[in-house]
Amino acid sequence: MKKAAFLDRDGVLNRKAPEGQYVTRWEEMKFLPGADAAIRLLNEAGFLVVVVSNQRCVAKGLITSGDLEAMHARMHREFAAAGARIDAIYYCPHDYEPPCSCRKPKPGMLFDAAQALDIDLGASWMIGDSTQDVEAGMAAGCSTAQLIEDGISGNRGARVTAPSLLEAVHKILQFESAVVPMQSDPAAPETGSSTSSSTSGRPKKS
């Protein structure tokens, strides 16, 4: 089984559209600084990189699923050209009603990916900018990271918070190197500031 980093799309990889609007054209797809570097780090650390995105704009008729998939294919190519490998892109095209099993905070997309790609959810992370992302990650049994402007406010229990994907990934990799698998401490500090506090007698996994 493999570990994965599940990434939300809007507000994580690309700039979010203004409130109530959606990214429906390639011209509106503006990648955030450091997103490619963050994905490269995840690749190198052995994570599958899986995008999981709510795209209610499909249900609202603002974009067809074909056009959305074409945009995702182009996004995949652009990152690949920068040496950043995205392993899969999942999206929920549904509206709030009727309820589906894939729209975050439901964990359906994470479960689907886990089955298709042989992912160990307990060894995986969900990284997003909204509480729905954190809730979906928790519901799937993943560790969670939330991107928050100032890195503090509005955190609803994510293990790691950071202002950008790249900084979140740095913290996650520090966190991973400090935590012995299967002994994760629920009371561990959320900041991941564990640079060189080597505790005695902990077996070192690499």
Contacting range for Mg ion; rule: CB under 5 A; set: 1-9, 43-51, 110-118, 196-204: 1-9
**Which run of H or E residues covers position 145?**
strand 143-147
Q: Which of 67, 94, 151, 155 binds Zn ion (CB under 5 A)?
A: 94
Q: Which of 2, 11, 67, 132 binds Mg ion (CB under 5 A)?
A: 11
10 makes contact, choosing from Mg ion, Zn ion, none, with CB < 5 to 8 Å by partner type, with Mg ion
User: What are the tokens at 133?
Assistant: 């992302």
Phi, psi of 127 (to 5 degrees): -120, 120
104 is a contact residue toward Zn ion (CB under 5 A): no
105 makes contact, choosing from Zn ion, Mg ion, none, with CB < 5 to 8 Å by partner type, with none
DSSP 170-202: HHHHHHHHHSPTT---TTS-TT---SS-PPTTP
Closest by CA position to 47, among listed 133, 136, 176, 141: 176
d(CA 38, CA 202): 28
Looking at residues 110 to 139 of the shown chain, list those that interact with Mg ion (rule: CB under 5 A): 129
The answer to whether 194 and 170 have CB atoms below 8 angstroms apart is no
d(CA 42, CA 135): 22
Residue whose beta carbon is closest to Mg ion: 11
Phi, psi of 114 (to 5 degrees): -60, -40
Of 103 and 179, the one with the shorter C-beta distance to Mg ion is 103
11 makes contact, choosing from Mg ion, Zn ion, none, with CB < 5 to 8 Å by partner type, with Mg ion
Closest by CA position to 71, among listed 126, 103, 28, 32: 28
Contacting range for Zn ion; rule: CB under 5 A; set: 36-44, 56-64, 102-110, 143-151: 102-110
Q: Which of 45, 100, 117, 148 binds Zn ion (CB under 5 A)?
A: 100
Q: Would you tell me which residues interact with Zn ion (CB under 5 A)?
A: 92, 94, 100, 102-103
**Catalytic (active-site) positions:** 8, 10
Q: Would you tell me which residues interact with Mg ion (CB under 5 A)?
A: 8, 10-11, 129
